[in-house]
Structure 1
Amino acid sequence: STGATHVLNAVDPRFVMPIFTGTLAAGASYLDMAMSLSQRHPVKPFELAHVKLGDEQFAMAEQWSAADQLALVGIGVEPGLSDIFARYAQDNLFSEIDELGTRDGANLAYYGPDGEEAFAPGFSMWTIIEECLNPPVVWEKARAEAGGSMEAGFFTLPPFSEPEVFDFPEGIGPVECVQVEHEEVLLMPRWLDAKRVTFKYGLGEQMISILKTLHALGLDSTEPITVKGVRVAPRDVVAAVLPDPATIGPQLSGKTCAGMHVTGIGTDAQPRSTYLYHVVDNEETMREYGAQCVVWQTAINPIVALELLAAGTWSGSGVLGPEAFAAEPFLDLLSAPKPVGYGSPWGLQEVPPAPSSREVIAE
């Protein structure tokens, strides 16, 4: 009825499938920043993958292809820009990739109305609880080859596994990162060639402690309970009592960094360890856009993608991730000075390789 050609889904991931299927029925193209939700294995949740992020969407891929429509899934910052960095690294920097490791960290601080530093999530607390307390998924090529399929390469770990300290650029510094369930691990093996794919997030000691406490008290549950005659889900209560991530910008300071740590053999046949990254300063995004940095960094990427789709630079059909498309047009448009592009540069630096999971366990 509106003649819309593209639907950009920016709402809670619980609503992905109604919007996803509705867009297919309406004959439009679809974009989202988070994919359909997972379900943990009923018997071995910290060993075996079960219903994975995006499984419901990929199950409909043939329908999208048959309709000659495109669903571009996971096109926020992570997933999204991180996947584009991975594609760029494969095409331009590496001849062989050992690990594609998304690494996210920040030095953000939130100050409450009294001027004292306090706790506030940078994005939806509901989603933070979901992805951080779910079993993180890892993909390994050796497992896939042994099992005879890409799906055989997925396995799970306990939350907060394999901690490593990653030194983030542009003044952020060292941050401890841990394994977290995230879409990149489910997307990259479909289009990129790596021996291992991981996602680690710099949660910080305070956030990890809060998440463990919420879980211990049952406040991470999404199952409604009755409180004084009112049905309410504990997780919804937690999200409701915390500051709204969309409004905390004036009380935030610091920077956030999203990036892709790639290790392997470079195009010169020598070992290489490279971090491709995008750093955003909260002071800058508040001044220029009136939006806090985590929100802005997530939002800019689907807008760049929409422009590429509208221009026909990116095209396709089916259910595709960002790494299915050439990375250079996206990165050029993102970093080009305004008004030609979006004036948000990305960086690349050589870094010492992270210790292997075997070394971490030994420590």
Structure 2
Amino acid sequence: MTMRILLIGAGGVGSAFAAIAARRDFYEAIVIADYDEARAARAAEDDPRFASARVDASSEASVAELCRTHAITHVMNAVDPVFNMPIFSGALDAGADYLDMAMSLSQPHPEAPYSKTGVKLGDEQFAAAVEWEQAGRLALVGMGVEPGLSDVFARYAADHLFSEIDELGTRDGANLRVTDEEDNEVFAPSFSMWTTIEECLNPPVIWQDGEWHTTPPFSEPEVFDFPEGIGPVECVNVEHEEVLLMPRWVDAKRVTFKYGLGDEFINILKVLHTLGLDRTEPVRVKAGTGGHCEVSPRDVVAAVLPDPASIGPRMVGKTCAGLWVTGTGKDGEPRSTYLYHVVDNEWTMREYGHQCVVWQTAINPVIALELLATKVWSGTGVLGPEAFDAVPFLRLLEDYGSPWGQRDDEVDGG
């Protein structure tokens, strides 16, 4: 079957996806769809195999109609996860396979949010697994960089490096700086602020001894030494999909996700929360004409900050995504290994014209789609990256010109 992809979202990650995919030949066509069709058209200029369209990502019917109109075989979701379920359901309704880079949203436990889980990330999607299996269709969820590549690393570690895993610890850090025209450092998140607020202010989830539990935001700070010149960065617990995905396919006593946010970013997030500016429910405000309108405070915060797709020329440094694995190696000895992927913003801007964080996110679903197109990966139901062989993926990552790394730390076996 010839692969025809519907890419929903032409923002930072979607545009980078298009630029990467333009260099590959495993598909017949890509339709790039966005609520702003002009933005989709700009992203579609990369390749004659690309076309553009307008889509309402909040409408299952709109997604399904586009799929049928363009004979789509695979839907690639590159918008904020608030739209996951309409896109996910629309793809299934149209008989297409589906990929995303962030899973359906969580809802904290109503009485004990910092100790018990409520609705977990991905619960809504996994609830539909049987429906996808019966339809013979695949929903590959969490296939970005984190989640995504980190989950591929978990599969690789379990299959090739460890006989028993104590902890799968995703550790994400960077030394990126964004400056203004006078070279003053400015606050400009390199990824969707809407998504960043969601994952950083929700109760983080930890997998421990066979069950999930939660903890307060920014808990368990630790300094992690990142490779390739990034150096030590303080990391804290953040809600993320890896913790909900990895234990479903990989045996580990503990699974965590910690992000190197930095003091400034943490303080800004705390202030947004204190002021209620992290809320998604619309509030009634005065309009410029003297009337009133309803807006979501979080949407306003995202709108007033620089578009992550636009900050690449003013950004310097590297970003690192990786998985720190501890346990017992295949040789029966204690082992500590960090599997990682470092990307330099100068390189991605020069080679692709996209900043490193969105580029690093976008390359992974392109690789996954190539593996699906060539039948190296196959499956039905709702599956995470851990459900597939890691080696072909990591080989293709190198073939795309962006190698991964491995650092083995000394362990006291006594």
TM range (shorter): over 0.9
Counterpart mapping for 1:223-242 below 5 A = 223-228=281-286, 229-242=292-305
Question: Is 2:108 aligned against 1:40?
Answer: yes
Counterpart mapping for 1:72-111 below 5 A = 72-111=140-179
In structure 2, C-alpha distance between the alignment counterparts of 1:246 and 1:277, rounded to whole Å: 24
In structure 1, C-alpha distance between the alignment counterparts of 2:234 and 2:387, rounded to whole Å: 30
Counterpart mapping for 1:171-186 below 5 A = 171-186=229-244
Alignment root-mean-square deviation, CA = 1.0
Aligned-residue offset at 1:352: 5.7
In structure 1, the partner of 2:16 is none
In structure 1, C-alpha distance between the alignment counterparts of 2:368 and 2:88, rounded to whole Å: 17
Give every structure 1 segment of 4 or more consecutive aligned residues whose post-TM-superposition deviation is greater than 6 Å: none
Q: Which amino acid aligns with 2:144?
A: G
Counterpart mapping for 1:98-137 below 5 A = 98-137=166-205
Q: 2:268 aligns with which of 210, 216, 222?
A: 210
In structure 2, the partner of 1:360 is none
In structure 1, C-alpha distance between the alignment counterparts of 2:410 and 2:240, rounded to whole Å: 24
| SS of residue in 2 equivalent to 1:118 | coil
Structure 1: stretches of 5+ with no match in the other structure: 145-152, 336-340, 354-363
Q: 1:325 aligns with which of 385, 388, 406?
A: 388
Normalised by the length of structure 1, the TM-score is 0.92
In structure 2, the partner of 1:263 is 326
1:77-108 per-position Cα deviation (integer Å, ceiling 9, x unaligned): 00000000010000000000000000000000
In structure 1, C-alpha distance between the alignment counterparts of 2:91 and 2:72, rounded to whole Å: 10
In structure 1, C-alpha distance between the alignment counterparts of 2:278 and 2:181, rounded to whole Å: 27
Q: Which amino acid aligns with 1:96?
A: E
In structure 1, C-alpha distance between the alignment counterparts of 2:311 and 2:410, rounded to whole Å: 35
Question: Is 2:278 aligned against 1:220?
Answer: yes
1:227-256 per-position Cα deviation (integer Å, ceiling 9, x unaligned): 111211111111111111010000000000
| SS of residue in 2 equivalent to 1:200 | strand
In structure 2, C-alpha distance between the alignment counterparts of 1:327 and 1:289, rounded to whole Å: 26
1:244-277 per-position Cα deviation (integer Å, ceiling 9, x unaligned): 1010000000000000000000011110000000
| SS of residue in 2 equivalent to 1:51 | coil
Q: 1:3 aligns with which of 64, 71, 74?
A: 71
| SS of residue in 1 equivalent to 2:173 | strand
Question: Is 2:356 aligned against 1:309?
Answer: no
Structure 2: stretches of 5+ with no match in the other structure: 1-68, 287-291
| SS of residue in 2 equivalent to 1:297 | helix
Q: Which amino acid aligns with 1:2?
A: H
In structure 2, C-alpha distance between the alignment counterparts of 1:6 and 1:204, rounded to whole Å: 37
1:103-134 per-position Cα deviation (integer Å, ceiling 9, x unaligned): 00000000023321111001011111100000
| SS of residue in 1 equivalent to 2:165 | strand
In structure 2, C-alpha distance between the alignment counterparts of 1:284 and 1:192, rounded to whole Å: 34
In structure 2, C-alpha distance between the alignment counterparts of 1:125 and 1:48, rounded to whole Å: 26
In structure 1, the partner of 2:85 is 17
In structure 1, C-alpha distance between the alignment counterparts of 2:192 and 2:125, rounded to whole Å: 22
In structure 1, C-alpha distance between the alignment counterparts of 2:197 and 2:409, rounded to whole Å: 31
Aligned-residue offset at 1:223: 1.4
In structure 1, C-alpha distance between the alignment counterparts of 2:186 and 2:86, rounded to whole Å: 36
| SS of residue in 1 equivalent to 2:111 | coil
Q: 2:135 aligns with which of 67, 90, 113?
A: 67
Question: Is 2:411 aligned against 1:348?
Answer: no
Q: 1:159 aligns with which of 217, 220, 230?
A: 217
Q: 2:354 aligns with which of 269, 291, 297?
A: 291
1:26-49 per-position Cα deviation (integer Å, ceiling 9, x unaligned): 111100001000000110000100
In structure 2, C-alpha distance between the alignment counterparts of 1:116 and 1:162, rounded to whole Å: 32
In structure 1, the partner of 2:61 is none
Among all aligned residue pairs of Structure 1 and Structure 2, give the percentage whose two residues are the same amino acid: 72
Normalised by the length of structure 2, the TM-score is 0.81
In structure 2, C-alpha distance between the alignment counterparts of 1:220 and 1:26, rounded to whole Å: 35
1:280-311 per-position Cα deviation (integer Å, ceiling 9, x unaligned): 00000000000000000000000000000000
In structure 2, C-alpha distance between the alignment counterparts of 1:90 and 1:157, rounded to whole Å: 26
1:9-29 per-position Cα deviation (integer Å, ceiling 9, x unaligned): 111100000000011111111
Question: Is 2:227 aligned against 1:187?
Answer: no
In structure 2, C-alpha distance between the alignment counterparts of 1:29 and 1:330, rounded to whole Å: 19
